């Protein structure tokens, strides 16, 4: 069975059909730029462009870069403020005349990792972390997603959100060495351990590929492993979300 997976980001919108049994893309990924301004109608048109590109007629899963509660956008994140309160799944479904399931993009990336990657079969409380512009997190208990755990948005001191301090974008912006940045990222991990006591962290995103350059700074007692799904994680996880929705 194939499901079209979409990954909506601040700069680009990507999509591809996914074999839901293997997690493999069955066609080359297609990308369109995220419209500016990134208002609901213009993004819905871009989604339709991807759907039309594949001549798609089946179910669709979509990872979306905001808090998503039952298909509704709850925060604006890096998209236009007019998204807040929009029923995203309904908007996209009406635009393409197909069933669309929408979840948070970090949750989608986590679903891909738990279903087809390093998280397969892992029990207990597992936190997936996508290290990039921010710190996107997915939280799973015995393999089941607990949605919208925005751990990167925790305040680590008065008025300071931790992802601005410890994401890969902070390393680049402040020209930090991996060792210097690793100490910051370790603070994020320690803070997360103190709050929710996870059994495992799975690290993805760009910085995870350089794990050997900062792993000596990681001092937590919880196992930390590197994700296996790379750039396609958001697309694959979005398709998984649509499959799970279809089983409800």
Q: What is the CATH number of the domain that holds 125?
A: 3.30.420.40
Is 113 a domain residue? no
Closest by CA position to 100, among listed 149, 138, 57, 53 = 57
Is 115 a domain residue? no
Q: So what's the pLDDT on residue 17? A: 98
93 and 124 assigned to the same domain: no
157 and 237 assigned to the same domain: no
Give the DSSP letter string of the chain: -EEEEEEE-SSEEEEEEEETTT--BSS--EEEEPPSS--HHHHHHHHHHHHHHTT--S-EEEEESS-EETTEE---TTS-GGGTT-BHHHHHHHHHTS-EEEEEHHHHHHHHHHHHSTTTT--SEEEEEEESSSEEEEEEETTEEE----GGG-EEETTEEHHHHHSHHHHHHTT--HHHHHHHHHHHHHHHHHHH--SEEEEESGGGGGGGGTGGG---SS-EEE-S--TTHHHHHHHHHHHHHHH-
Q: So what's the pLDDT on residue 106? A: 95
209 and 241 assigned to the same domain: no
27 and 92 assigned to the same domain: yes
Are 199 and 126 in contact by the 8 Å Cβ rule? The answer is yes
Tokens 């390393």: give the residue: 171
Is 198 a domain residue? yes
Is 101 a domain residue? yes
195 and 217 assigned to the same domain: yes
64 and 127 assigned to the same domain: no
The span from the CA of 244 to the CA of 145, in Å, is: 11
135 and 221 assigned to the same domain: yes
144 and 101 assigned to the same domain: no
Is 183 a domain residue? yes
124 and 221 assigned to the same domain: yes
Q: So what's the pLDDT on residue 8? A: 95
Q: So what's the pLDDT on residue 157? A: 87
Across the chain, which has 248 residues, the per-10-residue mean pLDDT values are: 95 96 96 95 98 98 96 90 97 98 96 96 97 94 96 91 95 97 97 97 91 97 91 93 88
Is 114 a domain residue? no
Is 79 a domain residue? yes
**217-227 residues labelled b (16+ CB within 10 A) or e (exposed):** bbeeebebeeb
221 and 237 assigned to the same domain: no
CB count within 10 Å of CB 90 equals: 13
- Domain containing 100: what range? 2-108+233-247
13 and 92 assigned to the same domain: yes
68 and 104 assigned to the same domain: yes
Number of domains observed in the structure of the chain: 2
Q: So what's the pLDDT on residue 58? A: 96
Q: So what's the pLDDT on residue 205? A: 87
């Amino acid at each position: 069975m194939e499901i079209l997976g979409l990954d909506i980001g601040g700069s680009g919108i990507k999509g591809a059909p996914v074999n839901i049994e293997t997690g493999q893309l069955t066609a080359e990924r297609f990308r369109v730029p995220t419209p500016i301004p990134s208002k609901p109608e213009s993004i819905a048109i871009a989604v339709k462009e991807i759907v039309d590109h594949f001549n798609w007629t089946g179910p669709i899963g979509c990872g979306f870069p905001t808090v998503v509660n039952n298909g509704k956008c709850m925060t604006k994140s890096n998209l236009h403020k007019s998204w807040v309160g929009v029923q995203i799944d309904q908007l996209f479904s009406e635009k393409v005349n197909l069933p669309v399931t929408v979840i948070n993009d970090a949750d989608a990336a986590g679903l891909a990792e738990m279903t087809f990657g390093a998280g397969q079969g892992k029990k207990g409380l597992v936190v997936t972390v996508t290290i990039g512009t921010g710190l996107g997190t997915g939280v799973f208990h015995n393999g089941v997603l607990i949605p919208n755990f925005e751990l990167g948005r925790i305040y680590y001191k008065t008025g300071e959100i931790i992802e601005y301090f410890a994401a890969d974008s902070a390393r680049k912006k402040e020209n930090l060495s991996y060792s210097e940045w690793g100490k910051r990222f370790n603070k994020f991990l320690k803070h997360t351990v103190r709050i929710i006591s996870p059994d495992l962290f799975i690290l993805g995103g760009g910085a995870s590929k350089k794990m050997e350059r900062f792993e000596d700074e990681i001092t937590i007692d919880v196992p930390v492993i590197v994700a296996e799904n790379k750039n396609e994680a958001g697309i694959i996880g979005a398709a998984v979300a649509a499959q799970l929705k279809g089983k409800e």
